[in-house]
Structure 1
Amino acid sequence: MSSTTKTKSKMITFHGHENFRHRLILSTLSGKPIRIDKIRSNDMNPGIREYEKDFLRLLDNVTNGSVIEISMTGTTVIYRPGLIIGGNFTHTCQSSKPCGYFIEPMLYLAPFSKKKFSILFKGLTASKTDAGLEYIKWGLIPVLEKFGVRDVELHILKRGSPPLGGGEVHLIVNSLIPQPVTVHILDIQKISAIRGIAYCTRVSPSVVNRLLDASRSVLKNTGCEVNITTDVWRGENSGKSPGFGLTLFTDRI
């Protein structure tokens, strides 16, 4: 058997665009090359999207020795992972996806890097379909702490509402671990409180107050403590577009 045949036999093949990021992240963590075929092959506009190419560029920046091959039609991607090296650089996110789309998978790679991650993301800071910054900061990072990843910081320097964005988010991961801590969940805890953050950019602060009043009137029927804080952004740090939003999360006893 030739060396080329052996390489092909070790490559794992997937079909379709679903779980695109997670397949690449797991490939990087395991060191196994993958091939993704038939990416939107039946669509009017087949192949990978610009934001997926942008994610591949980011993945190439935080690794050393990775090989990425994209077919002419964009319907096939071959990825041979390199070593996770991290780094200190700025990444301008593709305009159709928020910073959270790119930050979330970086948190899975950063603890196993050769050096710390210090990446400044520029672009949108909010989206209806992808992970928001508050979800990552108050939901995902505390979960990572349970696995031994403790020194993680996510700083929102500028808010950037769609469609024009203009936000800046700084991700810093100093926690490098040889392997994650084992977590045993034996009981499902009860929800004791509902917390949240209501924000606005380039609109009147009264919009945030209306968000607070409306959400509290709905959540008071749960019988839980409700604590929602406001985050009003003005001037240069408020991005290029007006917008507002609300993120809710729970505390458990």
Structure 2
Amino acid sequence: MGKTTTCQRKKGSQSLRQRLLLATLSSKPIIIDEIRADETIPGLQLHEISLLRLFETVSDDCRIQINETGTQVKYKPGIIMGGKNLVHNCALTRSIGYYLEPLLVLGLFGKKPLSIRLKGITNDPKDPSVDTIRNTTLNILKRFGVPAEGLDLRIEARGVAPDGGGEVLLTVPNVQALTAVQWLDEGMVKRIRGWTFSARVSSDFEHSMRFTARGIFNNLLPDVHIFSDHKAGPQAGKSPGYGISLVAETTSGCYISADTTVSCGRTDETGELDGEKQERKPAEDTGADIASWLLQEIEKGGVVDSTHQGLLFILCALCQQDVSKVRVGTLSPYGVETLRNIKEFLGVTFGIRPDPLTGTVILTCVGSGLVNLARKLS
């Protein structure tokens, strides 16, 4: 009876990744019903099943039950173990970035430091690229007291849709607890760094993106450098494609990012060639679009870009029982959904105050005080 009363019940496929993460950190069993129950292809998708298996890989005594139609999941969290030499083959319906976001937080509260090799798609238009996670997300974690030593993401092979073939090595250290932050000063942009890549296509695509993006930024500031990463052979993965990731670093140590990837010959879910991709825009247009996107993110204000709002709120909510105060631009739908999930699983409520002078929003909370007991006992 005790287990039934403490079990959270949710409906639908939205926020599945966040719900599993927060259920694990708060040690609350969860039942999710009606997962795409009314859709043509009901139930869990391949990447969601793969994510559940990843949670099993890094945990001990984690129990997962999926019904025959895949429309219901019962999840009982285990102990986050971490460990070395782990390997996970990610489903090719989402990129590795989809799996890395929850994995980074899980790894912090493991019994042992985490070292895991993820295989699949490294760069995709839908999820943050591995470049963005390496150059932006890891820096956000350091703000909360995560040691730089042992925190690393190494890109060993590129892989784009539809066939992947990419490989990264993630290492995450353990923490006792996260440090609360007062992070309100966005600062001014002092430098822009970028990374282009090409795999199984001509490096001319990279040159076009780099030249156009740099031309836009050089009108605004002098310190702009965009690196090239052309892959060949096994390191180029199994499908052709190219992409660009840009990061603006400010005087106060904020990192604002934007990225995109073009997959040559991506297929849709029915296996037919995606018609939109057949009429692909020139690479220089891709460079111009992503530069404009980064400038829009900077204009919105805030200490992180809209993609990282969810992670920022989760880290604040997990901090020691002290006040955290952060500034973001316009609240994204993903950010709002994250605030709801945090309240339901961790019992942490954020105070939200718009700042009319800057058009930004200031959020304040008292952390849940999550402590890594596994690390304390080891």
TM-score (norm 1): 0.93
Q: 2:70 aligned with 1:74, yes or no?
A: yes
Using the alignment, how far apart are the partners of 2:177 and 2:110 within structure 1? 11
User: Residue 129 of structure 2: which of 128, 132, 147 is its match?
Assistant: 132
**Aligned runs of 1:194-213 on 2, under 5 Å?**
194-213=192-211
Contact kept in structure 2, 1:194 and 1:224, CA below 8 Å:
no
Q: Describe the superposition over 1:179-225 as per-residue Cα deviations: whole angstroms up to 9, x where unpaired.
A: 11111113232222222101111222222111111212333344463
Using the alignment, how far apart are the partners of 1:133 and 1:77 within structure 2? 29
What CA RMSD, in Å, does the superposition of the two structures yield over aligned residues?
A: 1.4
Q: 2:2 aligned with 1:9, yes or no?
A: no
**Aligned runs of 1:215-234 on 2, under 5 Å?**
215-223=213-221, 225-234=223-232
Percent of aligned pairs with the same amino acid: 37
Contact kept in structure 1, 2:158 and 2:236, CA below 8 Å:
yes
**Aligned runs of 1:72-111 on 2, under 5 Å?**
72-87=68-83, 88-111=85-108
Tell me, what secondary structure is at the counterpart of 1:9?
helix
Query: Partner residue of 2:157?
Result: 158
Give the partner amino acid of 1:238: A
Tell me, what secondary structure is at the counterpart of 2:238?
coil
Contact kept in structure 1, 2:186 and 2:250, CA below 8 Å:
no
Give the partner amino acid of 1:157: E
Instruction: Give aligned pairs, total.
Output: 248
Q: State the shift of 1:57 in Å.
A: 0.6
**Aligned runs of 1:15-34 on 2, under 5 Å?**
15-34=11-30
Give the partner amino acid of 2:19: R
Runs of 4+ in 1 over 6 A off after TM superposition: none
Query: Partner residue of 1:120?
Result: 117
Q: Describe the superposition over 1:2-49 as per-residue Cα deviations: whole angstroms up to 9, x where unpaired.
A: xx3x32111111111111111101111111111111211121111111
Give the partner amino acid of 2:230: V
Q: 2:252 aligned with 1:245, yes or no?
A: no
Using the alignment, how far apart are the partners of 1:161 and 1:212 within structure 2? 19
Q: State the shift of 1:149 in Å.
A: 1.5
Q: State the shift of 1:140 in Å.
A: 0.5
Q: Describe the superposition over 1:152-204 as per-residue Cα deviations: whole angstroms up to 9, x where unpaired.
A: 1111111112222111111112x211111111113232222222101111222
Query: Partner residue of 2:261?
Result: none
Using the alignment, how far apart are the partners of 2:152 and 2:186 within structure 1? 28
User: Residue 38 of structure 1: which of 34, 37, 49 is its match?
Assistant: 34
Q: State the shift of 1:237 in Å.
A: 1.2
Q: State the shift of 1:242 in Å.
A: 1.5
Tell me, what secondary structure is at the counterpart of 1:73?
coil
Using the alignment, how far apart are the partners of 1:235 and 1:77 within structure 2? 40
Tell me, what secondary structure is at the counterpart of 1:53?
helix
Query: Partner residue of 1:192?
Result: 190
Contact kept in structure 2, 1:124 and 1:167, CA below 8 Å:
yes
Give the partner amino acid of 1:158: A
Using the alignment, how far apart are the partners of 2:53 and 2:223 within structure 1? 44
Q: Structure 1: which 5+ runs fail to align?
A: none
User: Residue 235 of structure 1: which of 233, 236, 241 is its match?
Assistant: 233
Give the partner amino acid of 2:50: D
Using the alignment, how far apart are the partners of 2:220 and 2:12 within structure 1? 41
Q: State the shift of 1:90 in Å.
A: 1.2
TM-score (norm 2): 0.63
Give the partner amino acid of 2:108: P
- Cα 1:251–1:224 shift into 2, 3 Å: farther
Give the partner amino acid of 1:189: G
